[in-house]
Amino acid sequence: MEQVEKIGGAPYIPFKTNAVANKNGETWRRLFHEFNLNRDEFCRHYHLRSNVESTFSMVKAKFRDHVRSKTDVAMTNEVLAKILCHNVVVCIHEMFTLGLAVEFGGDAVEPNVDADEPRIIKFPGA
């Protein structure tokens, strides 16, 4: 924790339930009290990280964790393509889960709210 603070970072490391404040020095004590007194703020920051890790895990599970490209630029493009494909897969999944009809091209309009008709989201044409 002290090393992270020395280089200007803010350590968001959750404490175990049996952790006590009178341990491991001044930094430990201060961060332990911040953790307990500002739990909502801590969790908001910490769960941003867990959301990113969950997304990386989903991408690796669906598209494997290796890249076949040899150059740095090609590897970057391959990883970005995997992330794009992941986003498309998630959008299609939510489209079917939420019962959305999606139309591409034309003018953007508000989705239908009538319960008898499918909700339509229109994406404007380029």
Length of the chain (residues): 126
Average pLDDT of the residues of the chain: 83
9 confidence band (pLDDT: 50, 70, 90): confident
Residue where the block lists tokens 């034309």: 106
pLDDT digits (tens, 9 = 90+) for 77-108: 999 999 999 999 998 898 888 888 777 666 65
Q: Where are the domains of the chain?
A: 1-65, 67-125
Q: How far is CA 100 from the centre of its chain?
A: 23
Task: Judge contact between 32 and 19, C-beta under 8 A.
Answer: yes
